[in-house]
Amino acid sequence: MHSGDGPPRSATPTTELTVVTGDRYRVERDVKKVERAILDAARGSLMQLAWLVDAETGENLAVNPDRVVMLRAVSP
């Protein structure tokens, strides 16, 4: 989540992803594209991860599709 040290990195669409532990992550891309990346990983080979970009740090984020419980669009 954003720490309040300034504005988010960019004006790109952002999606909030919630995993089974309750942790939430904000990633770059609109919600439909994030959903597609997660579904593609879930249908891929065993233990395939969905690769996304953290909206606040720009770092790559690998997500286990079996652990995602909710997606929410947080910007256009």
45/43 Cα distance (integer angstroms): 7
For the stretch 46-57, pLDDT in tens is: 889 999 999 999
How is the chain split into domains, by residue range?
14-73
For the stretch 1-39, pLDDT in tens is: 444 455 555 578 999 999 999 999 999 999 999 999 999
Q: Could you give the maximum distance between any two Cα atoms of the chain, in Å?
A: 39
- The pTM (predicted TM-score) of the whole model is 0.81
| pLDDT at residue 1 in the model | 46
Question: Could you say which of 1.10.8, 1.20.120, 1.10.287, 2.30.30 is the CATH number of the domain covering 14-73?
Answer: 2.30.30
| pLDDT at residue 67 in the model | 96
35/2 Cα distance (integer angstroms): 22
